Amino acid sequence: MIEVKHLKTLQALAELRSLAAAAATLHQTQSALSHQFSDLEQRLGFRLFVRKSQPLRLLHRGKSCCNWQTRCCRKLARRCKPAMNRNRRACALPLSAIAVFSG
């Protein structure tokens, strides 16, 4: 499952293009954010960024995923807000929802 925290991580990294800046924005350590991002890439089955570049550089699939993430967050904000207020993990997405990025 892809959780809301994964979408927020992807959004911060795509906008800020820096692990340090994204970690600060999300109030996490760089190590925690890096592990979370690695978990997302593992769940997706492909890389989203070139990590060794400064600033972080989105790969083609990363750009596609960021576009999808933006649309997804808008929908989540409208449809899942009551559930998210009760339980932050209540809104998660099945991997089949992101299958479009694997091909």
Looking only at the bridges linking them, the beta strands covering 92-93 and 2-3 are: antiparallel
pLDDT of residue 99: 41
Query: Using an 8 Å Cβ cutoff, are 33 and 67 in contact?
Result: no
The answer to whether residue 6 scores a pLDDT higher than 70 is: yes
pLDDT of residue 103: 36
Q: How far is C-alpha 75 from the chain's CA centre?
A: 15
pTM of the model: 0.67
The answer to whether residue 102 scores a pLDDT higher than 50 is: no
pLDDT of residue 87: 56
Question: Residue 91: which pLDDT band, with cuts at 50, 70 and 90?
Answer: low
Task: Kindly write down the DSSP assignment for every residue of 15-74, as one continuous string.
Answer: HH--HHHHHHHTT--HHHHHHHHHHHHHHHTS--EETTSSS-EE-HHHHHHHHHHHHHHH
Round to whole Å and give the CA distance between 58 and 99. 19
The answer to whether residue 14 scores a pLDDT higher than 60 is: yes
- As given in the structure block, the two tokens for residue 99 are 């299958």
